[in-house]
């Protein structure tokens, strides 16, 4: 059964983010600040609207399971279009990119845990329901 990600989520903590940003060669001036980051998710079945708000502004992504799209967060950080394909893996929402790279959202103990995997480097961000 797919997970329910509806709601607004506030960043609680990050693990391994610096190493991941080094691996994907994100310049220092584009690196996200953890303070006051929020993610608002509207989910209707397999369709999503995700608004990510940070000190740098707000980005919106609209997508449906199985339909490839260009992720606005990745474009903002890396400065190029990277196509990802969203899919369900049990109750996890997985965005699969080129070369086995992925972003996974799952609900664990009431938190939304976002796991990034790029070239063998992983990072996690933990969000509490606002």
pLDDT of residue 124: 93
What pTM was estimated for this model as a whole?
0.87
Fold annotation for 7-129: Lipocalin (2.40.128)
Beta strands in 32-77 (DSSP E): 38-44, 47-54, 57-64, 69-70
How do residues 112-121 score in pLDDT, each as one tens digit? 999 999 888 8
Q: What are 30-89's pLDDT values in tens digits?
A: 676 666 789 999 999 999 999 988 877 888 999 999 999 987 666 656 566 778 999 999
State the Cα angle at 121 between 55 and 90, rounded to 5°: 85
- Coil, helix or strand at residue 31: coil
């Amino acid at each position: 059964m797919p997970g329910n990600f509806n709601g607004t989520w506030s960043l609680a903590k990050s693990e391994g983010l610096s190493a991941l940003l080094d691996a994907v060669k994100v310049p220092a001036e584009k690196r996200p600040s953890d303070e006051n980051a929020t993610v608002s998710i509207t989910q209707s079945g397999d369709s999503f609207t995700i608004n990510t708000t940070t000190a740098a502004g707000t980005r919106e992504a609209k997508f449906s399971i199985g339909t490839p799209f260009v992720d606005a967060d990745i474009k903002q950080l890396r400065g190029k279009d990277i196509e990802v394909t969203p899919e369900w893996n049990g109750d996890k929402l997985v965005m699969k990119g080129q070369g086995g790279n992925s972003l996974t959202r799952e609900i664990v103990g009431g938190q939304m845990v976002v796991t990034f995997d790029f070239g063998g480097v992983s990072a996690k961000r933990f969000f509490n329901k606002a």
